[in-house]
A and B are shown apart, each in its own frame.
Chain A
Amino acid sequence: MSLRSPPPILSVRPSRALVDEPFEVSVENLPPGGPVTVRSLHRSEDGDDWEAYGRYVSDHSGKVSVSEDLSFGGTFSGKQPMALLWSMRPVPGSRSGLRLRKLKVTTPMLVNISVYRGHNDFRDQTPLASAVTERWYMAPGVHRVDIRQEEVQGTLFIPPGPGPFPGVLDIWGGWGGLLEYRSALLASRGFASLTVEYLKPGELQTDLEFSSFEAAFNILKDHPKVLSDRVGVLGSSAGSIVTLYLAAESTAVQPRCVVCISNANCYPHESGLSGIQHLLAKKFDKIRLDENNHEIWRGIGLALLDDAPYKVDMGKIRSPVLLVNGRDDQNWPVLETADRMAQVVGAAGKAHLLYRLDYPNTGHQIEPPFSPHFRATNLAIDGTKDKAILLWGGETKAHSEAQEDSWKKILSFLRQHLYCSPKAKI
Chain B
Amino acid sequence: MLQQLKMEEKPCSAALSVQPSRGLVDEKFVVLVQNTVPSCPLTIHASHQCEDGHSWHAFAHYTSDASGVVNVSEDCSVGGTYSGVEAMGLLWSLKPVPGSKPGLRMRKKNVQAPMVITISVYKGHLTEGFGDQVPLAGTEVERWYMAPGVRRIAVTEDGLTATLFLPSGPGPFPGLLDLWGGGGQLVEYRAALLASHGIAAMALDYLTCKYTMETGKMVEQDYFEAAYTFLQKHPKVLSSRIAMLGFSLGTSVTLKTAVYSEVMKLRCALCISGSHVQPLDGFLKETLGYFNENSGKTCFTEDNEAIWRNLLLPIPTDLSLKVDMKEMMERAGNSHLLTLLSYPNAGHLIEPPYTPHARSSLFRDVKSRQMLMALWGGQTLEHSRAQEDAWRKLLVFLRKNLYGGVKSTSPLSNL
- Spell out A's residues near B (CB within 8 Å): 1-7, 9-10, 14-18, 21, 29, 110, 112, 114, 126-134, 136, 139-141, 159-166, 190, 227-229, 419-424, 426
Q: Which of B54-62, B236-244, B382-390 contacts A (4 or more CB under 8 A)?
A: B236-244
**Shortest CB–CB separation between residue A262 and chain B, in angstroms?**
29
Given A17-B22, A18-B21, 13 more contacts at CB 8 Å?
Answer: A1-B240, A7-B173, A127-B169, A141-B139, A160-B138, A160-B140, A161-B16, A162-B135, A162-B136, A164-B13, A420-B6, A420-B12, A421-B68
CB-CB < 8 A to A132: which residues of B? 147-149, 168
CA–CA, A130 and B147, complex, Å: 12
CA–CA, A190 and B116, complex, Å: 19
Q: Which of B1-46 contact A (CB under 8 A)?
A: 3, 6-7, 9-10, 12-13, 15-16, 20-24, 27, 35-38
CA–CA, A14 and B22, complex, Å: 8
Q: A129-B170, A131-B168, A131-B169 are in contact. Are A229 and B9 (CB under 8 A)?
A: yes
Whether B138 and A130, one on each chain, are in contact in the complex, defined by CB atoms closer than 8 angstroms, is no
CB-CB < 8 A to B21: which residues of A? 18, 139-140
**Shortest CB–CB separation between residue A18 and chain B, in angstroms?**
7
Q: A129-B169, A422-B37 are in contact. Are A190 and B13 (CB under 8 A)?
A: yes
Tell me, yes or no, whether B198 is within 8 Å of chain A by CB: yes
* Residue on B nearest A166 in the bound complex, by CB: B13
Whether A422 and B12, one on each chain, are in contact in the complex, defined by CB atoms closer than 8 angstroms, is yes
CB-CB < 8 A to A133: which residues of B? 148
CB-CB < 8 A to B241: which residues of A? 6
CA–CA, A238 and B399, complex, Å: 55
* Residue on B nearest A422 in the bound complex, by CB: B37
Can you report 17 A-B residue pairs in the complex whose CB atoms are below 8 A from each other? Answer: A2-B172, A6-B403, A9-B399, A9-B403, A14-B20, A14-B22, A16-B144, A17-B22, A29-B403, A134-B22, A140-B142, A160-B138, A161-B139, A162-B138, A164-B10, A190-B13, A424-B6
Whether A130 and B240, one on each chain, are in contact in the complex, defined by CB atoms closer than 8 angstroms, is no
Whether A6 and B239, one on each chain, are in contact in the complex, defined by CB atoms closer than 8 angstroms, is no
Q: Which of B182-207 contact A (CB under 8 A)?
A: 196, 198
Tell me, yes or no, whether B47 is within 8 Å of chain A by CB: no
CA–CA, A165 and B13, complex, Å: 7
**Shortest CB–CB separation between residue A402 and chain B, in angstroms?**
24
* Residue on B nearest A139 in the bound complex, by CB: B21
Candidates B36, B148, B238, B399; contact of A2 at CB < 8 Å: B238
CA–CA, A4 and B239, complex, Å: 9
Q: A6-B174, A7-B173, A130-B169 are in contact. Are A162 and B38 (CB under 8 A)?
A: no
Candidates A7, A136, A141, A228; contact of B172 at CB < 8 Å: A7
CB-CB < 8 A to A7: which residues of B? 169-173
* Residue on B nearest A3 in the bound complex, by CB: B240
- Report whether over half of chain A's contact residues are helix, strand or loop; otherwise say mixed: loop
**Shortest CB–CB separation between residue B224 and chain A, in angstroms?**
19
Whether A161 and B38, one on each chain, are in contact in the complex, defined by CB atoms closer than 8 angstroms, is no
Whether A140 and B22, one on each chain, are in contact in the complex, defined by CB atoms closer than 8 angstroms, is yes
Q: Mark each residue of chain B from 370 to 413: 1 if its CB lies under 8 Å from any CB of chain A, else 0.
A: 00000000000000000000000000000100110000000000
Q: Mark each residue of chain B from 82 to 125: 1 if its CB lies under 8 Å from any CB of chain A, else 0.
A: 00000000000000000000000000000000001010100000
CA–CA, A160 and B399, complex, Å: 38
CB-CB < 8 A to A141: which residues of B? 118, 138-140
**Shortest CB–CB separation between residue A347 and chain B, in angstroms?**
26
CA–CA, A131 and B170, complex, Å: 10
Tell me, yes or no, whether B137 is within 8 Å of chain A by CB: yes
Tell me, yes or no, whether B141 is within 8 Å of chain A by CB: yes
**Interface size in chain B (residues, C-beta < 8 A):** 52
**Shortest CB–CB separation between residue B12 and chain A, in angstroms?**
5
Candidates A14, A139, A164, A190; contact of B15 at CB < 8 Å: A190
Tell me, yes or no, whether B134 is within 8 Å of chain A by CB: yes
**Shortest CB–CB separation between residue B401 and chain A, in angstroms?**
10
CA–CA, A159 and B35, complex, Å: 16
**Shortest CB–CB separation between residue B142 and chain A, in angstroms?**
5
CB-CB < 8 A to A5: which residues of B? 238
Whether A9 and B198, one on each chain, are in contact in the complex, defined by CB atoms closer than 8 angstroms, is yes
Whether B38 and A422, one on each chain, are in contact in the complex, defined by CB atoms closer than 8 angstroms, is yes
CB-CB < 8 A to A15: which residues of B? 24, 147-148, 196
CB-CB < 8 A to A16: which residues of B? 20, 22-23, 142, 144, 148
CB-CB < 8 A to A10: which residues of B? 169
Q: A126-B170, A127-B170 are in contact. Are A422 and B13 (CB under 8 A)?
A: no
Q: A140-B141, A160-B138, A422-B68 are in contact. Are A14 and B169 (CB under 8 A)?
A: no
CB-CB < 8 A to B138: which residues of A? 141, 160-162
CB-CB < 8 A to B9: which residues of A? 227, 229, 420
CA–CA, A198 and B398, complex, Å: 56
* Residue on A nearest B142 in the bound complex, by CB: A140
CB-CB < 8 A to B13: which residues of A? 163-166, 190, 227, 419-420
CA–CA, A205 and B141, complex, Å: 42
Taking each of A1, A160, A164, which has the highest tally of chain B beta carbons within 10 Å of its own beta carbon?
A160
* Residue on B nearest A9 in the bound complex, by CB: B198
CA–CA, A140 and B38, complex, Å: 28
**Shortest CB–CB separation between residue B70 and chain A, in angstroms?**
14
CB-CB < 8 A to A3: which residues of B? 240
CA–CA, A3 and B141, complex, Å: 43
CB-CB < 8 A to B118: which residues of A? 141, 160
CB-CB < 8 A to B196: which residues of A? 15
Q: A14-B20, A140-B140 are in contact. Are A422 and B148 (CB under 8 A)?
A: no
CB-CB < 8 A to B68: which residues of A? 421-423
Whether B139 and A6, one on each chain, are in contact in the complex, defined by CB atoms closer than 8 angstroms, is no
Whether A422 and B35, one on each chain, are in contact in the complex, defined by CB atoms closer than 8 angstroms, is yes
CA–CA, A231 and B23, complex, Å: 32
Q: A420-B9, A421-B35 are in contact. Are A4 and B169 (CB under 8 A)?
A: no
* Residue on A nearest B167 in the bound complex, by CB: A131
CB-CB < 8 A to A229: which residues of B? 9
Q: Mark each residue of chain B from 139 to 155: 1 if its CB lies under 8 Å from any CB of chain A, else 0.
A: 11110100111000000
**Shortest CB–CB separation between residue A42 and chain B, in angstroms?**
13
Taking each of A21, A136, A190, which has the highest tally of chain B beta carbons within 10 Å of its own beta carbon?
A190
CA–CA, A422 and B69, complex, Å: 12
Whether B238 and A6, one on each chain, are in contact in the complex, defined by CB atoms closer than 8 angstroms, is yes
Q: A16-B20, A134-B148 are in contact. Are A140 and B116 (CB under 8 A)?
A: yes
CA–CA, A3 and B239, complex, Å: 8
CB-CB < 8 A to A2: which residues of B? 172, 238-240
CB-CB < 8 A to B198: which residues of A? 9
CB-CB < 8 A to A159: which residues of B? 139
Taking each of A4, A10, A130, A422, which has the highest tally of chain B beta carbons within 10 Å of its own beta carbon?
A422
Whether B6 and A162, one on each chain, are in contact in the complex, defined by CB atoms closer than 8 angstroms, is no
CB-CB < 8 A to B174: which residues of A? 6
Whether B239 and A1, one on each chain, are in contact in the complex, defined by CB atoms closer than 8 angstroms, is yes
Whether B15 and A419, one on each chain, are in contact in the complex, defined by CB atoms closer than 8 angstroms, is yes
**Shortest CB–CB separation between residue A98 and chain B, in angstroms?**
25
Report, nearest first, the 6 A-B pairs whose CB atoms are least far apart.
Answer: A141-B140, A132-B149, A161-B138, A16-B22, A140-B140, A132-B148
Q: A161-B120, A162-B135, A163-B13 are in contact. Are A422 and B36 (CB under 8 A)?
A: yes
**Shortest CB–CB separation between residue B94 and chain A, in angstroms?**
17
CA–CA, A110 and B148, complex, Å: 9
